[in-house]
């Protein structure tokens, strides 16, 4: 029954309309693009008079590509993404900015599509119309063959009698039932060509989507970090500084009548000041540890290992020092992992390995422990690390089966 439904399906007739719009549009476009390219190319050596012709032609193909994406969306429901800005793979021609599009791969894909549009649409429309016409004529043959000159339909000079006409009608009905499939199949092939020439390469589209997701994660991670700093300042250092100011105020009031009590209050204020400095130092270390800037990743990780309650072995092998951003991400990956080891793993030892692979291609950071395992990759700490790592186009994996061991591995790009 679906063959019968396809005969009246809106999708079938939208595909039918799509083919014939393509013929009309393609016939006009090919007579604009081809002469424009030829005239522009021939005119370039002659005082550059071909420059405005080429520029106009290329702008027209760009407009035509956008119009075609809209046509495919309306008639076939096929949404073809445009090339993302900055990914058209061209070289900037600073002296001839109007012709910069000449060096872009996307431009020549659009030009190829514009040139092919007319002939391919004509072929698709011819096949589509032929199948429908043949099916309709053969199916209705028994209804009108008696009225044809010579008393019937003639094949090779012989008259096709009514019995044979019925068989022809059955064959025509089969062709007619197949016509929607032919129409829609050609439309799908047309859409595949358009995706190939008008859309970005599949890998690029996936890459752009991945980078957009990474950007969102970076924004979320930055907002979470801002809230953490605000909370730590409010709950820690700010409270201590308020207490310090109050202690100094009380000491000032006591100096005139009780010098010993005032001295005790000053001592207390001094202790409050030192505690506030320690909290501020820890807070700054959480944002960006000074030792990382001054002495590099090896020294910073050694400091983390020294402060860890679990014994940690650190091995760092980097031919050259990575960029500050990569160093910072590697540091925070190790810091968060060692914090989890101390809090949750019940491990007796841990190991940190940092190596440059094909440097400056990738910096590999691996943290392992012999604890009980069962770490949740979706937990707040590890998910925050995923966001931080993906923000620089890196990758983080967590292997933590129940019973251990736990292995956290990050691959951080160092090139570019």
| Model-wide pTM > 0.85 | no
Question: What is d(CA 154, CA 232) in angstroms, rounded to the nearest whole number?
Answer: 95
Whether 389 and 395 have beta carbons less than 8 Å apart is answered as yes
CB 291 within 8 A of CB 303: yes
The whole-number pLDDT of residue 341 equals 84
**φ and ψ of 233, to 5 deg:** -65, -40
CA distance 99 to 58: 9
Residue with tokens 């620089």: 392
Q: What is the pLDDT of residue 331?
A: 85
Is beta strand 158-160 parallel, antiparallel or unpaired with respect to 153-155? antiparallel
What local confidence, expressed as pLDDT, does residue 198 receive? 83
Structure token pair of residue 168: 């022809």
User: What is the DSSP annotation of 360-405?
Assistant: TTEEEEEEEE-S-----TTSHHHHHHHHHHHTTT-EEEEE--TT--
Give the three-class secondary structure for 412: strand
* pLDDT tens series, the chain, 416 aa: 566 676 778 888 888 888 888 888 888 888 888 778 777 777 766 656 767 777 788 888 888 888 888 888 888 888 887 765 544 544 444 444 455 566 667 777 888 888 888 888 889 989 998 888 888 888 877 666 555 555 455 445 455 555 566 777 777 788 888 888 888 889 999 888 888 888 776 555 556 556 666 666 666 666 666 666 666 565 556 666 766 777 777 777 777 777 777 777 777 777 777 776 766 666 655 556 677 777 888 888 888 888 888 888 888 888 788 888 888 888 888 888 888 888 888 888 888 998 886 556 788 889 988 888 887 776 666 777 777 787 777 888 888 888 878 888 888 887 64
**Predicted local distance difference test score (pLDDT) of residue 234:** 59
**In which residue are the tokens 């997701």 written?**
213
Q: What is the DSSP string of 186-218?
A: HHHHHHHHHHHHHSPPHHHHHHHHHHHHHHHHH
Candidates 192, 179, 191, 181; CA nearest to 71 is 191
> Which residue pairs from 127-133 have beta carbons closer than 8 angstroms and sit at least 24 positions apart in sequence?
127/182, 127/186, 128/16, 128/19, 128/179, 128/182, 128/183, 128/186, 131/175, 131/178, 131/179, 131/182, 131/183, 132/16, 132/176, 132/179, 132/183
DSSP 75-101: HT----PPPPTT-S-----SS-GGGGG
Kindly list the distances between the CA atom of residue 201 and the CA atoms of 72, 83, 102, 197, 316, in Å, as whole numbers in the listed order: 18, 9, 19, 9, 39
Whole-angstrom Cα Rg for the chain: 37
How far, rounded to the nearest angstrom, does the alpha carbon of residue 350 sit from its chain's CA centroid?
36
- Sheet order of strands, 362-369 included: 312-317, 350-357, 362-369, 406-413, 395-399
| Ordered structural domains, the chain, with CATH | 2-198 (no CATH), 214-287 (1.20.5), 291-413 (3.30.565.10)
Give dist(CA 287, CA 393) in Å, integer: 20
């Amino acid at each position: 029954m679906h063959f019968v439904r396809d005969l009246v399906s809106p999708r079938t007739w939208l595909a039918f309309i799509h083919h014939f719009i393509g013929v009309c549009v393609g016939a006009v476009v090919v007579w604009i693009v081809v002469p424009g390219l030829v005239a522009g190319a021939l005119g370039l050596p002659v005082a550059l008079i071909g420059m405005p012709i080429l520029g106009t032609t290329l702008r027209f193909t760009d407009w035509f590509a956008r119009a075609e994406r809209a046509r495919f969306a309306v008639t076939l429901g096929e949404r073809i993404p445009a090339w993302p800005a900055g990914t058209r793979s061209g070289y900037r021609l600073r002296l001839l900015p109007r012709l910069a599009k000449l060096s872009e791969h996307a431009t020549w894909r659009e030009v190829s599509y514009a040139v092919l549009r007319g002939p391919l649409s004509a072929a698709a429309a011819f096949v589509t119309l032929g199948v429908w016409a043949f099916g309709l004529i053969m199916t209705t043959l028994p209804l009108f063959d008696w009225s044809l000159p010579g008393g019937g339909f003639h094949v090779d000079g012989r008259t096709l009698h009514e019995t044979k006409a019925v068989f022809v009608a059955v064959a025509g009905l089969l062709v007619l039932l197949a016509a929607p499939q032919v129409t829609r199949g050609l439309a799908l092939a047309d859409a595949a060509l358009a995706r190939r020439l008008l859309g970005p390469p599949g890998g690029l589209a996936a890459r752009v989507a991945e980078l957009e997701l990474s950007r969102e994660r970076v924004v979320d991670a930055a907002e979470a970090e801002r809230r953490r700093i605000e909370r730590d300042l409010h709950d820690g250092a700010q409270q201590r500084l308020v207490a310090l100011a109050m202690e100094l105020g009380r000491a000032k009031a006591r100096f005139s009548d009780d010098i010993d009590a005032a001295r005790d209050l000053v001592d207390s204020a001094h202790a409050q000041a030192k505690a506030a400095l320690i909290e501020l130092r820890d807070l700054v270390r959480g944002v960006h540890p000074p030792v990382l800037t001054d002495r590099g990743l090896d020294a910073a990780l050694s400091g983390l290992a020294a402060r860890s309650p679990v014994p940690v072995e650190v091995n760092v092998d980097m031919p050259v020092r990575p960029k500050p951003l990569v160093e910072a991400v590697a540091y925070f990956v190790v810091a968060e992992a060692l914090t989890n080891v101390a809090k949750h793993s019940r491990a007796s030892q841990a190991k940190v390995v940092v190596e440059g692979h094909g440097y400056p291609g990738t910096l590999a950071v691996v943290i392992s422990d012999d604890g009980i395992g069962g770490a949740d990759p979706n937990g707040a700490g590890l998910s925050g690390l995923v966001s931080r790592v993906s923000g620089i186009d890196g990758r983080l994996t967590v292997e933590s089966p129940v019973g251990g061991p736990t292995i956290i591995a990050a691959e951080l790009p160092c090139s570019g």
